[in-house]
Amino acid sequence: MSTQNPAPAPAPAPAAEPAPAPAPAAAVEPKPATDDLTSKLAAEQKRAAELEQRLAAIEAERAQAAKEAEEKAAREAGKLDELYQGTKAERDALAAKLEQLEARETARLERLEAANAAAIEALPEAYRALVPAGLDAEAKAAQIATIKKTLAESPTFPAGTRGGTRPTSDLNVPPEVKAEAVRLAPKYPGLSQADIEKTLMQRQRRQAS
């Protein structure tokens, strides 16, 4: 029986080399202060530029609004000018018409004054004082008409006038009594001219006795 020699033992593995140590990290150097100032300045410049843009936009809006307001005012002024011109034309037309009416009224009053003067002159002298000088033309004409109406209705109207011939029994009625009767006639519409004269004559007789 043969004897086998044992296999030789394997050679030991070589020892692993240790990993190289990491290189030391480079030290971070602090940024200089000028970099911070530069960044801050740039930020401020950016903000200033933005503000300038906003201000420019606001100014542009204001200028546009002012322009539109001016244009609107000009349009309204044109309308007002047209309205004024139209109103002025109406006023001028009314003024011309009023001037014509005033001229006609002045001419009418002048004619009425002349007619009043002629009518007063035609009244018996004792009755002329019944038309006060201070009356205007219309009131004077009304007073003259009242006197004429009273004299026309009186049965004692002086001879030669349209009232008829004065009765012989009334020849002794003084003119001042007849004038007073004319003045009192409107106050006593129920009495005739002759009745008022008779009453006045009776009063004079009683006072004289």
How far is it, in rounded angstroms, from Cα 174 to Cα 190? Answer: 23
- Determine phi and psi for 161, rounding to 5 degrees: -105, 175
Q: Is the dihedral of CA 92, 95, 101, 103 positive or negative?
A: negative
CA distance 127 to 174: 12
Q: Which pLDDT band holds residue 159 (cuts at 50, 70, 90)? A: very low
The alpha carbon of 11 is separated from its chain's Cα centroid by a whole number of angstroms, namely 130
* pLDDT interval class at 160 (50, 70, 90): very low
Q: What is the dihedral of CA 105, 107, 110, 112, to 10 degrees?
A: -70
* Burial group, residue 111, by CB count within 10 angstroms (0-12, 13-18, 19+): exposed
Measured CA to CA, the distance from residue 195 to residue 154 in angstroms comes to 9
| Residue 63, both tokens | 């200028």
Q: State pLDDT tens for residues 52-83.
A: 888 889 998 999 998 888 888 878 877 777 77
> What's the pLDDT score for residue 148?
85
- Residue with the bigger pLDDT between 205 and 120: it is 120
Give me the pLDDT at residue 3, please.
53
Binning pLDDT at 50, 70 and 90, where does residue 154 land?
Answer: low
- Asked whether the predicted pLDDT for residue 124 surpasses 60, the reply is yes
Tens digit of each residue's pLDDT (9 = 90 or more) over 94-122: 899 999 999 999 999 899 999 988 988 88
Whether the model clears a pTM of 0.85, i.e. scores above it, the answer is: no
